[in-house]
Structure 1
């Protein structure tokens, strides 16, 4: 999925996020279809929406290991990856293998999605990955600061979502993702980097 989305983005005018989403939905639908037609005993609701409260030690170890590996790899490829994202022409001009860093990043995204499937399911994992990142865009203007805000929103969403699900007797996965959705909607309105309120507030003009 990661390789195909990268190839389509480079061969066509389709943006990478749209390409990735398209291949993800196709593969998800195909997986559900296969499970349904083969008469498997796998609970499709568990596959799609997960069960956070049923995560065992082995799953936690897997998620922690993949997260640690991701941080190490991102630290190693951070600079060339940023250059490749903002100016791939410059990366090619200086002889850098920008495509390699791009593919490595896409593979990391897919690996983290697969790790999140065990806790949140296929649909919820995408929501928890995308909503904090989208919310951070309204609070930070640089890549490192957006990453920090996104991690903070993700952790707070998980904590608050679990508390809400416990006290209101709600499914934990949807509660977590909906909490992240609340942060996202609030960021659209109140965000200092292009939020609705800040965009339309009267600003003081420079005076000579």
Structure 2
């Protein structure tokens, strides 16, 4: 992999990661509700799911998974159901004054729970498997050892993705200042819920290959 190829990968990933999607919306909403510091656990969960799938692609498991009859469809419908569940949950959330970092909310959402939530959103996105199986190998030079190249691409992706997590989390912290009124917070939750449902319905159109 040449330096030029790597820079091309950086540019592509920068644009792809920055595009609003389920992970970024999840980080934004967690930052709004819990603050920047506590949303780090959700970021770690999202990033762990991504790295796991990309590492599986490096081992050839993503391509094998896509070749299994019905496996992709099972994941796709699971992802759709989970995103729609999150959307309905956000839509129906109780309107209350926003109290970022409140003890009650902190007790209800431990770092482990935040990590699991982020990981579940990340790992249930079938687009990530398609990206790992079809897009990532395009930047690999077959004449050179594959493992170091995959390691560099996965590390690069993780760094760029983490940058955008920070951007969205900071945006959530700034947005939280304007959500002190229950009516405004209710509107934010319902818009967030609709977007999650929209992401879920959009996944119904995702097809392998």
Query: If the length of structure 2 is used for normalisation, what is the TM-score?
Result: 0.34
Higher relative contact order (CA 8 A, sep 6+): 2
Query: If the length of structure 1 is used for normalisation, what is the TM-score?
Result: 0.34
Q: Which has the larger radius of gyration?
A: 1
